[in-house]
Structure 1
Amino acid sequence: MARNPLAADLALFPARLKALLVAVFLTGVTTFMLMPFLAVSLTRSGLSIGQAGTCVAVLLFGQQGLGHVVGILVDRYGTQRILTVGLLLRVAAFVGLMSVNGFGALLVVCALIGAGGCLVTLPIRVEFIQQDPAIRQRSLALRGAAVNGAAILGPPLGTVLLAADFRWVCVAAMSTQIAVLTLLSRRSLRTGEHAGQRHGGLPSTDRDAGQDPRPSVVALLRDRRTVTLLLVAFTFWFSYSQLNTTVALATITATGSEAILSALFVANAAIVLTLEYPVIRGLSARRPSSYLLRLGMIAMSLAFAVLAAGVSIWVLAIFIVAFSAAEIFYSSSVDDVIGRIAPAQGGGRYIGVFSLGDAAGSVAGSAAGSALFALADTGGFTHAYWLAVAALVGAATVLFVIGEQRRPHLSKVEVQV
């Protein structure tokens, strides 16, 4: 009897990696259980809409904008210590969220939740990149599945708890953080467990010879590969953020239905959850991660080009399929590409630089993208905006391809075991 592929892969994963997959799911449930209802709950506590929005913005900035600082801490103190600090900080912040009042206090609490989130997510990302290349891309695909599973479970769970009291949402969030802390403490990363992986460093077989072990940000930005990937990361998250902003606005305007907008989000999470692991598992055996990353960028470009035909139910259906394909190919491949060019040590700092690119793309896509879309909408040129986004993603793809051609091609991961 043939063994289930998922079970076969999990049997190859070290215990720490399995624990990290569970941690990704549980922390994701916490995020998706809280974030859709946070602004509403803050306004119910007496804050104005503007104050509630500021709190949410500070939280989101903390989650993404502190990446480089956290990366330096990871390199110095190791992933487990930083994870522990982040989880404890989030537990304390959730206690504050359900017990304090007033704009100033709640702003501080939201900042702590965001900072704690960065202290958790970035070390986990570093540890995934540290994995043996033979299992790394499969583990990244499972990480994506865990995130999307949480995206499906979190909002309805938050709805049920919010119906009772917002404090129950906070209690559940605290409980998941404590559960993750307990799990990862029991499965702590032992020094030397994986050769060449100390304090965020990458495996010695997966690095460039003679590279500065802990390069500065300036040194990293002098590397053409790093700059190219930063542009790709910025562009991807600029376009990805449109789903929550301009695409959402266009959908409501064109269809007049919030249910259709909700269906888009559910369809996106369901497609990625269902297909990411089997698709990446099959393709990674035959194609390098750089090739899959290009496919993801091309799919994202096509998704927005489709919208130029006019927003309708059928166009949105095609859009979300292409958008989900982009997420599958990109999210499962970008960290594997980064892992192959990251320095031998200082991996946390390196990932931190890319987290800044992600954050910049998200902020620019949400703020500048929405402003540009409003201008296009006023002039009746929304189709031109979609084409502009598609062209931006296409240009980033071309830059990445050129960068690949100017250096030795990334070798294919051998995953036949």
Structure 2
Amino acid sequence: MRSRRGRTWPTLSPLLRLLILTQLAFNIGFFAVLPFLAEHLGAAIGMAGWLVGLVLGLRTFSQQGLFVVGGALTDRYGVRPVVLTGCVLRIAGFAWLGYAQQTWSVIGAVLLIGFAAALFSPAVESEVARQAVLWEEAGRGPRTRVLALLTVAGQAGAFLGPLLGALLLSVDFRTVCLAGSGVFVLVLAGHLWLLPQHIPGRERVRVRGGVGDMLRNRRFLAVCCAYGAYLLAYNQLYLALPDEVERAAGSQAPLAWLFALSSLLVVTTQLPVTHWAAGRLDQRRSMAAGLVLISAGFAVVALARPAAWTGVAGLMPAAAFVVLLTLGQMLVAPAARARVPDLTPDGRLGLYTGALSSVSGLIVLAGSAATGSLLDAGLPSWAPWLALAAIPLLATVLLPGRVRAPDPSAG
């Protein structure tokens, strides 16, 4: 098993290796800055808490909500110009944020930073998905192995980025921002040199008409809803989990260790989990199994809540939740990305890849508001967690069965 997994990276094309390493670099630069932004806005600039939340929400919307725009532009103009433009905007956004001191200036910088990702991320992810299909068709293995490498690279960047940021924060926040900008300067230079002007097989299409067909593509929208259920569950790391940790430990200090546990699990076990799943489960069953594991994570906390354990024992259900959620993520995320090419008409992979993030992001936005209300509703302590456990289970019903490659003229 190990030797077969070990052959995955060497068999990748130079383009695939570049794109996967790009994901690593993107996340190092981004997460060197993001974890320290809220503290900077509140303590250094003096923003009120609601305004800090608004700024962070605007950044998320300008990124996740506009992925569909970046995907459509990738289909129209190609991967290279969209990635390079996104890098230039990210460089400018981080530099601007480092010097921004007024509210309007901070908002402008974070919107630019978010929109930059809305350009380059769908471009990279859609091309990795397309190349993964070609890799699979060449008989080298299931496409999920390639997409798992993309997940590992992203998670490794999310792990290393805050370490870089914390190191530079001893100077000041501006230095952190300029370092993040510098990472993207290196990415830009590398892509100017290495990223092909035209990628064979990637035809450019007009933006017009693609969105309407996509909105009539029920199978694709069903996958988006199931993926959105996973992301809503994942978002509870930042919403429901802190409340549970505070209850059990009397502070949120253990959160950092639980987040590190999640990152470490992905980096060390994503590839073995994907290899195991590829030999036993198709993409639909992999997503379903992942959603069931996520549901079990919520159920563990719901069952333990009436006992009201505290201290180390009280943190065990939270740790089990993180482990089960992360294992579920490792099954759902690569499988969902692997399904998108089979549900996409020719020439629209960028649009559909971006829409997967945008549609599921809207689900998370609406679901997070509902979850927050649920947590504040004064219900028995186990009830919100049990309700959250039901959502991934219900999402498994939405998953479409195996499909053939779509007719380009069909929605």
Match of 1:337 in 2: 339
Is 1:157 aligned with 2:164?
A: yes
Aligned partner of 2:98: which letter? M
Aligned partner of 2:18: which letter? A
* Cα distance in 2 for residues equivalent to 1:16 and 1:148: 20
Match of 1:319 in 2: 321
Aligned partner of 1:364: which letter? A
Of 357-366 and 155-164, deviating more is: 357-366
CA displacement at 1:366 relative to structure 2: 3.2
TM-score by structure 1 length? 0.87
CA displacement at 1:408 relative to structure 2: 4.6
Of 257-266 and 174-183, deviating more is: 257-266
- After TM superposition, list the pairs within 5 Å mapping 1:223-238 onto structure 2: 223-238=217-232
Select 1:175's aligned residue among 182, 185, 199.
182
SS of residue matched to 1:332: helix
* Cα distance in 1 for residues equivalent to 2:50 and 2:292: 37
Aligned partner of 1:191: which letter? H
CA displacement at 1:76 relative to structure 2: 0.8
Aligned partner of 2:11: which letter? L
* Cα distance in 1 for residues equivalent to 2:29 and 2:52: 19
What runs of 5+ residues in structure 2 fail to find an aligned partner? 306-313, 406-411
SS of residue matched to 1:382: coil
CA displacement at 1:192 relative to structure 2: 4.9
Match of 2:194 in 1: 187
Aligned partner of 1:125: which letter? E
CA displacement at 1:307 relative to structure 2: 1.2
Aligned partner of 2:31: which letter? F
* Cα distance in 1 for residues equivalent to 2:404 and 2:323: 30
Tell me how large the CA RMSD over aligned residues is. Answer: 2.2
Task: Describe the shift of the 1:396–1:326 C-alpha distance in structure 2 as closer, same or farther (beyond 3 A).
Answer: same
Identity of aligned residues (%): 28
* Cα distance in 1 for residues equivalent to 2:6 and 2:175: 35
Aligned partner of 2:290: which letter? G
Aligned partner of 1:338: which letter? V
* Cα distance in 2 for residues equivalent to 1:255 and 1:242: 18
Match of 1:346 in 2: 348
* Cα distance in 1 for residues equivalent to 2:2 and 2:385: 45
Is 1:217 aligned with 2:197?
A: no
- After TM superposition, list the pairs within 5 Å mapping 1:178-327 onto structure 2: 178-193=185-200, 196-199=201-204, 215-311=209-305, 312-327=314-329
Could you tell me whether the CA contact under 8 Å between 2:95 and 2:177 is conserved in 1? Answer: yes
* Cα distance in 1 for residues equivalent to 2:264 and 2:249: 22
Of 159-168 and 148-157, deviating more is: 148-157
What runs of 5+ residues in structure 1 fail to find an aligned partner? 202-212, 411-417
Could you tell me whether the CA contact under 8 Å between 1:237 and 1:365 is conserved in 2? Answer: no
After TM superposition, what 4+ stretches of structure 1 lie above 4 angstroms from structure 2? 2-7, 407-410
Aligned partner of 1:390: which letter? A
- After TM superposition, list the pairs within 5 Å mapping 1:42-191 onto structure 2: 42-43=41-42, 44-133=44-133, 134=136, 136-191=143-198
SS of residue matched to 2:7: helix
Deviations 1:182-230 (A, max 9, x none): 222222135353xx323489xxxxxxxxxxx975323222222112112
Task: Describe the shift of the 1:166–1:218 C-alpha distance in structure 2 as closer, same or farther (beyond 3 A).
Answer: same
- After TM superposition, list the pairs within 5 Å mapping 1:364-379 onto structure 2: 364-375=366-377, 378-379=378-379
Task: Describe the shift of the 1:294–1:189 C-alpha distance in structure 2 as closer, same or farther (beyond 3 A).
Answer: farther
Counting matched residue pairs gives 389
Aligned partner of 1:359: which letter? G
* Cα distance in 1 for residues equivalent to 2:98 and 2:264: 32
* Cα distance in 1 for residues equivalent to 2:5 and 2:180: 29
CA displacement at 1:101 relative to structure 2: 2.0
SS of residue matched to 2:128: helix
